[in-house]
Amino acid sequence: MRINKYIAQSGYCSRRKADELIEAGRVKVNGEVVTMLGYEIRVKDKVSVDNKPLRNLKLEYYRFYKPTGYITTCDDEKGRKTIYDIIPKELHHLKPVGRLDKDSSGLIILTNDGNLTYELTHPSIKVAKVYRVTVDAFLKVEDLEVLARGIELEKGKIAYCDCEILERTKDETLLEVTLYQGLNRQIRRMIEFLGHNVVHLKRIRHATIDIIGLKKGQIKPIKPKQIKELKAYLDKIKEKEVFDA
């Protein structure tokens, strides 16, 4: 196994961060500094970072239903409420995979698996995130086509999404929105570009993991079978991207 993958699977950090640690000379194998990114780890090798031995952590995976009013971080210097005010203390070592803004609710995956976090959040891997979004206007098909074609929210960055109309009244539209990007407040900003506002926004699925069976504020472990399906989904995406390239 390559050393960066070994470090990531220990739960210490992501594979990208592991590469930075290796290049900085902070990683040792059997007491010797290793700076080669492709270095292969053998079964009996002992790996340390900053002279602290890495132990194969028990990898943990949870899904959490974030209510509105909480930010997705472990600490906030402004004193705002965070998801860790709700999550049991014995799970505070887990990190969120991606973010939801304060006014949004829905699914957040929490884990100590740095490699999985990397693959679920890296922009080069187009992972689907699905949301239910209520907009304060009667949206037309033409509006959805604008969102699908893309909007330049930031210089050189085109934001796009797939949308399906679920319900409409003369004053509101309920959408199912699928994102393959992770720009800051992306859906809200795209709707504002159309001249409207988001009333409610809830993430219902991230890759193959969904919110079904969770109540607001509730956290539950993800079953091993679901993790296996999730990793198979990610492998399929990566294979497709290599083929398309």
Tell me if 72 sits within 8 A of 108, measured CB to CB: yes
Pairing of β 105-111 and β 198-206: parallel
Backbone angles phi, psi at 167, to 5 degrees: -150, 155
Helix (H, G, I), strand (E, B) or coil at 137: coil
Backbone angles phi, psi at 192, to 5 degrees: -65, -35
Tell me if 27 sits within 8 A of 48, measured CB to CB: yes
101 catalytic residue (yes or no): yes
Tokens of 162: 């797939």
Of the listed 45, 50, 75, 101, which one is catalytic?
A: 101
Instruction: For residue 71, give the DSSP letter.
Output: B
Instruction: For residue 9, give the DSSP letter.
Output: H
Helix (H, G, I), strand (E, B) or coil at 75: coil
For 228, the enclosing helix (H) or strand (E) is helix 224-244
Burial (CB < 10 A; 0-12, 13-18, 19+), residue 4, is buried
The C-alpha atoms of residue 198 and residue 63 are separated, in whole angstroms, by 25
Distance of CA 70 to the CA centre of its chain: 17
What are the residue numbers of the active site? 101
